[in-house]
Amino acid sequence: RKEVEQDPGPFNVPEGATVAFNCTYSNSASQSFFWYRQDCRKEPKLLMSVYSSGNEDGRFTAQLNRASQYISLLIRDSKLSDSATYLCVVSTNDYKLSFGAGTTVTVRA
Amino acid sequence: GAVVSQHPSWVICKSGTSVKIECRSLDFQATTMFWYRQFPKQSLMLMATSNEGSKATYEQGVEKDKFLINHASLTLSTLTVTSAHPEDSSFYICSADPLQGTNTEAFFGQGTRLTVV
């Protein structure tokens, strides 16, 4: 079983729509959780960290459910520039990052 | 944010040759850097942890004699793909965390797209 699993999508949504997707992780000892964004043929960049209480950054909301071992990301009022692959990233105490394969989101005009 | 520079951005080489990829932390010191490989439509897979002044720690299934890692200074780690073959064609990317040991944001190099022909 993969350490981090994501729905690959793609999620094709119109501008202004809300899109949400999840990620599950297998290691219950995981300590830190992140969403990274990766554009085609580019390096990943941190979108947001995910905190136990859930957190919001502008149009992006992240939730963590430790009991069920999943993380979610919700994007409100989608923009064309939100089109990217979103990587779920999990880390344990050894500071190694485990990446999901990514969820592709395409926002159309 | 912190800057990690990776060079080259892309390289095409003949089968059997070796390719060196450099990863530099430009505005911070990194005792630890990480090397990943990403195949199309797949996740980043950690290949090895590069430790300044000591041997790299390789993940299971990664051949240490094929993927040579040298971390000679606090700002530079190199990955050499030796005797490259077409199946080594991939996107190689390094990362470092300026706040070592705090499990916060990792900063990535721009990645190197290797094509072996």
Q: What is the DSSP string of A53-105?
A: T-EEETTEEEEEETTTTEEEEEE-S--GGG-EEEEEEEE-TT--EEE---EEE
- What pLDDT is recorded for position B30? 86
**Surface of B (49-108) touching A: CB under 8 A:** 49, 91, 93, 95, 97, 101, 103-106, 108
Nearest to B11 by CA among B92, B102, B115: B115
Q: B103: pLDDT confidence band, cut at 50, 70 and 90?
A: low
Summarised one tens digit per residue, pLDDT across range B33-43 is 999 999 988 88
Query: Residue B101: left (phi > 0), alpha (psi -120 to 50), or beta?
Result: left
Predicted local distance difference test score (pLDDT) of residue B99: 62
Please report the pLDDT score of residue A82 as a whole number. Answer: 97
Interface test with B, best of A23, A95, A98, A103 (most B CBs within 10 A): A95
Q: Closest approach of chain B CAs to the CA of A26, in angstroms?
A: 16
Q: What confidence tier does A21 reach under pLDDT thresholds 50, 70, 90?
A: very high
A103 → chain B, closest CA residue: B41
Q: Which residue has the higher pLDDT, B103 or A22?
A: A22
Please check whether residue A1 touches B, CB under 8 A: no
Identify the sign of the CA torsion A51, A1, B109, B24.
positive
- Tally of CB atoms within 10 A around B33: 29
Joined tokens for residue A49: 């960290």
For B93, the closest chain A residue by CA position comes to A43
Which chain A residue shows the shortest CA-CA distance from B107?
A45
A40-95 tens-digit pLDDT: 888 999 999 998 888 999 999 999 999 999 999 999 999 999 999 999 999 876 66
Q: What is the pLDDT of residue B104?
A: 65
Q: Residue B1 pLDDT > 90, yes or no?
A: no
